[in-house]
């Protein structure tokens, strides 16, 4: 039988930080797009594609940010639960 679940709060914080950094980097990339290049007859089509790509990246940033927030909250909840359990044993044995 398994020994249950376990995690390292520092690892959880690191995962959350990695996700938040990725979201920030993606957002900065989206903010740094150059002006629409002159593509001749397909300029309108290129503008449409770039507009769609920008919207998709914005949604990706939102999703990665939410994932980072969830990992951070989950790590905090886990650590709090561990602390509560540890204190309950201290009370019982103290």
The answer to the question of residue 64 being in a domain is yes
The answer to the question of residue 34 being in a domain is no
Two tokens at 36?
């629409």
| pLDDT score of 67 more than 90 | yes
Taking 3-state DSSP, the helix, strand and coil percentages for the chain, each rounded to the nearest 5, stand at 80, 0, 20
**The predicted structure's pLDDT at residue 93:** 60
Domain count, the chain: 1
The answer to the question of residue 94 being in a domain is no
| pLDDT score of 44 more than 60 | yes
Q: With the C-alpha atoms ordered 22, 25, 31, 32, is the resulting torsion angle positive or negative?
A: negative
Terminal Cα distance for the chain, rounded: 30
Q: What percent of the chain has pLDDT over 70?
A: 93
The model's pTM is 0.73
Two tokens at 20?
């938040």
Q: What percent of the chain has pLDDT over 90?
A: 33
The span from the CA of 78 to the CA of 75, in Å, is: 5
3-state secondary structure of 6: coil
In terms of pLDDT, which residue wins out, 71 or 53? Answer: 71
Query: Mean pLDDT for the chain?
Result: 86
The answer to the question of residue 37 being in a domain is no
- Enclosing domain of residue 76: 46-88
């Amino acid at each position: 039988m398994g020994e249950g679940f376990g995690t390292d709060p520092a690892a959880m914080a690191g995962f959350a930080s990695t996700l938040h950094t990725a979201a920030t980097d993606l957002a900065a990339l989206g903010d740094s797009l150059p002006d629409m290049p002159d593509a001749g007859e397909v300029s309108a089509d290129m503008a449409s594609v770039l507009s769609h790509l920008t919207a998709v990246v914005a949604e990706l940033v939102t999703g990665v940010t939410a994932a980072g927030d969830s990992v951070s909250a989950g790590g905090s909840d886990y650590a709090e639960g561990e602390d509560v359990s540890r204190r309950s044993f201290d009370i019982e044995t103290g």
